[in-house]
Structure 1
Amino acid sequence: MSTSLPPPDATEVRVWVLHTPDELRKLRAGLGEMIADGQWHDGDALADVPERMILVASELATNAIRHSHPPTEVRLLRNDQHFVLDVTDHNPDTPPQPPDEVSELSAGGRGLQIAQRLSLDVGWYTTDEVKHVWASFPVSTN
């Protein structure tokens, strides 16, 4: 996973602010509602992208809540080619660490592996106060 900014020119679609693990339901429900309400652009052939996005958002937000202090912010961004989930935590001095293959059976740390397997790209960067971990998904799977 590289230190990099998410795709440029992506605009914010929605933000969820989470303080506790119990609020992860709100995130999953919000993404699910956007899917059910057809809030994606007409003509988007998303296949299983929405379900993958919900899983990755939940995993990355869980990591942020577990390893930092509140609030965790999950932003859904979009440009013509990508949806981007951008998850922040207040631990900018600790880089995200996917578990190594040797300890794959250990508890925890699978959120980054899941994100890497289910998205197009995963990256991270920091600002003075927060760390951003992001994952991108195709707007259309045609």
Structure 2
Amino acid sequence: MGKLSSSPFPPQASELRRWTLSEAADLRALRASLHEELTGDVLGEDEALEEVPELIALIATELATNALRHGIPPTVVRLLATDDHLVLDVADHDVGSLPELVEARPVGDGGRGLELARALSLDVGWYATGTTKNIWASFPRSAHV
């Protein structure tokens, strides 16, 4: 297992939206709400997401799942924006543990949210506040946002 490097997201980021999750059942609503925030459209029951919104929703779900499973609730997901990037910031209240990259786990065994975030986003990092441990991932701002 490796450690994820500690580095805060850009300080000039402004918050677009915030979600507070207490259980895994909240993840579906998070994905639908993220899609609406990113595209302005309500996601239909069987409708596929566009590329950048889909990546952001996937990573948000993976990181929030990790936080719900391994952290201390509530999990807070924030969508932030800079001039040229969107930033997901997922916080849990377990400041006593460090984020770990699980590189040798077989696909399907879970626990690969950070690896997916590293593979599909522009950059990933983490930081701690006095009460939270935050994982962030950045994405290009598309023409849709």
TM-score interval (norm. to shorter):
0.7 to 0.9
1:4 is matched with 7
What does the per-residue CA deviation read over 1:68-96, in whole Å, with 9 as the maximum and x for residues that have no partner? Answer: 22210000000101100000011111111
- 1:21 matched to which residue of 2? 24
Correspondence for 2:75 among 64, 72, 75: 72
Contact 1:11 1:79 in 2 (8 A): yes
Number of equivalences: 132
TM-score computed with the length of structure 1 as normaliser: 0.86
Matched residue type, 2:69: R
Partner of 2:125: 123
Could you tell me which residue of structure 1 aligns to residue 137 of structure 2?
135
Instruction: Please list, as runs of the form range in 1=range in 2, the aligned pairs for 1:55-134 lying within 5 A after superposition.
Output: 55-100=58-103, 102-105=104-107, 107-134=109-136
Q: Which runs of 5+ in 1 are unaligned?
A: 39-46
Q: For residues 122 and 39 of structure 2, what CA distance do their matches in structure 1 show? A: 23
Q: Which runs of 4+ in 1 moved over 2 A?
A: 102-106
Map Cα deviations across residues 51-71 of structure 1 (whole Å, 9 max, x no partner): 100000000000000012221
- What is the RMSD computed on CA atoms of the aligned residues? 1.6
* TM-score for both structures, normalised by structure 2: 0.84
Q: Compared with structure 1, are the counterparts of its residues 106 and 37 closer, same or farther at alpha carbon in structure 2 (3 Å cutoff)?
A: closer
Which residue identity lines up with residue 132 of structure 2 in the other structure?
V
Question: What letter matches 1:72 in structure 2?
Answer: T
Contact 2:91 2:134 in 1 (8 A): yes
For 1:87, what is the secondary structure of its paired residue?
Answer: strand
State percent identity of aligned pairs. Answer: 51
Matched, 1:52 2:36: no
Task: Report the secondary structure of 2:18's partner residue.
Answer: strand
